[in-house]
Every structure is written in structure tokens, then in C-alpha cells.
A and B are shown apart, each in its own frame.
Chain A
Amino acid sequence: ILNVEQSPQSLHVQEGDSTNFTCSFPSSNFYALHWYRWETAKSPEALFVMTLNGDEKKKGRISATLNTKEGYSYLYIKGSQPEDSATYLCAFMTTDSWGKLQFGAGTQVVVTP
């Protein structure tokens, strides 16, 4: 993998269901992996910054895992609510380009009541 890839591109989820999606990134020179939630007409909001292989982070019903050796991260939403509807972006940073976030195209999540 040369760039950040996110899948799926979009996701429709029923309220109350749980879901997850993937971010794949190059595993060489890894420094950090960021997840952002971006609601329409708002600023991207940082969810997690993960740096260590095996890292697991949790914020309310949202959690993320990181595998730096194979170059992927999963984001999980448990018991989805309509307010979880947003585009979720992941971005990675390498040791030789600190400060430069390389973003995926995002996964758009729509939660319907």
C-alpha cells in the first residue's frame, strides 16, 4: 500500500446497530495514526491519535485499534445513533514527514432511525 485507503466508502446503519470500518496505510516509517470525525458544515474533530502497535482507544461508544506491522486500523461504533452520522477520516504520519498528515478519502456513515 502506497497511500491511505479507507473502506467502505460509505455505510448505512440502522440506529442501535454496531458497525466498523477500515483504514489501511503503509507500514514503513510509521509514526502516528489519527482518526477524525467530520460532520457536515463543521470542522473535522479529532477522535484518536494512536502511535503504538496494538493500541486500543475508546471514547464513549466509539473505539479504535491499531496494527502497525500490517498497516491497518479499525474504527468501531457500538449501538449507532443518528448523531454518529458523519464522515470518518483516518490520516497517518511518518517519521520522516512529521506534521504532514496523509489522509484517506473517508468513510461516510449514515445512521437512520
Chain B
Amino acid sequence: ETGVTQSPTHLIKTRGQQVTLRCSSQSGHNTVSWYQQALGQGPQFIFQYYREEENGRGNFPPRFSGLQFPNYSSELNVNALELDDSALYLCASSPGLAGGRGEQFFGPGTRLTVL
């Protein structure tokens, strides 16, 4: 069973650019959540996708957007990058919304640096 994978591992961008981060969910999981962890803080919920539809969003501006594909992999897109977007971005997959206790399985993250 393959776990959650994320690419790239590290990324350096400049202010105003756009970035796309990718996540492959664990086999059999149809729900993907994205989190941002800034330095010294806990991960903050960005949004969640369930069967290709957004299913909840945290307190992030619209320039943070996402996609989920039919194979349940997902992308996080950030437009007009700002210095404060520098963070570790974590993806987590889970086996659906119905039942369960909300267990989520995390990838190792993508470290984004905005200069």
C-alpha cells in the first residue's frame, strides 16, 4: 500500500508568481485535505476535496485554489504569491466522509519559499 506522496519536496518562488503543488492520496482514499504550516505554528486547514468537489474551506483567500482528479490525486494552486505564503504545505488523505473518526494520513509536505 503506497502512502501519501507530495511533489515537489522544495520550491523557491518570487513574489507575484504562481505555484502548483501536487499530492497523491493513499490507495482507496477519496478525500484530500490541504494544510499550511508556517514557522512556529501548527498546521492550518486550507481546504478539503471529496470526490472532486471542494468540501470545506479554511480562512484562506481565493488565490488559494485546488483541484481533485478522478484518481483522487490533488493539486493546490497559489496565485500572486506573497512573502507570508512561505511555509510547509501538507496534504492528507482519508477514506471518505461517511463514518470513521476523521483519521487523516499525511504526506511529508512541500516546503515553499517565497523571496
Contacts and interface: CB of A to CB of B under 8 A. Distances in A.
Given A42-B108, A43-B4, A43-B108, A99 B42 contact: no
A100 B44 contact: no
Chain B: interface residue count, which band? 20 to 34
Contacts, number: 67
Contact of A44 (B90, B97, B101): B90
A49 B101 contact: yes
Given A46-B104, A49-B101, A89 B42 contact: yes
A21 interface: no
Interface in B4-40: 4, 31, 33, 35, 40
Interface of B: 3-4, 31, 33, 35, 40-45, 48, 50, 55-56, 58, 90, 92, 94, 97, 101-109
